[in-house]
Amino acid sequence: MGADLDDTVRVPPRPAPTAALPDTEDTVITPRPSHPHDVSAEDRAPADPVDPAPPPRGTYSLRVGLQSDPIALDAPVLVGRNPTPPRVVRGDVPRLVRVASPGREVSATHLEVRQLGASVIVTDLRSTNGSLVMVPGRAPVALRQGESMVVSPGTLVDIGDDTILQILPMHSSGRQP
């Protein structure tokens, strides 16, 4: 036969990847208006394609025991023997609700209850003795330290020393739809 042909293909090594610099040739920087009303309709960002959940049309509330007045969940509620707000508050300033605890079963700041949109969330604030959540139609759940749970109206939360919180139905906030 004729000459031996080598079928090996040599590929030059690839250069090491380098961090790409952003292309700034077509970047347009526009100053922000000093007031939101100064923005024209053409300059406004397009609406988010995903519709957010509609705002709730009312506020849930909470009752400590069966005879107390309802406490609106228009701000987070911290319940305990001697509740204190967090050092750094994000959002609404929490409402502090002090409960009696002769046996000291209730921690100083035991539980947080807050309305988030149309949901109510209870969070055990790393209490010593925990919180027992009884949602209607479901088995009771013992919240672990720091654990949160979405609950419905009619839920009872036992935080110890015969202190039971009741989540009440939403009531109208008086706003027009």
- pLDDT at residue 175, as a whole number: 40
Task: Yes or no: say if 110 and 79 are a contact pair by the CB < 8 Å rule.
Answer: yes
Of 138, 141, 135, 137, give the one whose Cα is nearest residue 156.
Answer: 135
Q: Give me the pLDDT at residue 172, please.
A: 72
Q: Which residues of the chain have pLDDT under 50?
A: 174-177
pLDDT of residue 67: 82
Helices (H), the chain: none
Strand pairing report for 71-72 and 141-143: unpaired
DSSP notation for 60-95: EEEEETTTSPPEE-SS-EEEESS----SS--SSPPE
pLDDT at 177: 34
What pLDDT is recorded for position 51?
55
CATH of 58-171, one of 3.90.850.10, 1.10.8.420, 2.60.200.20, 3.40.640.10: 2.60.200.20
The pLDDT assigned to 28 comes to 56
Kindly report, residue by residue over 5-50, the tens digit of the pLDDT: 666 667 667 666 555 555 555 555 556 555 555 555 555 555 555 5
Give pTM, 2 decimals. Answer: 0.66
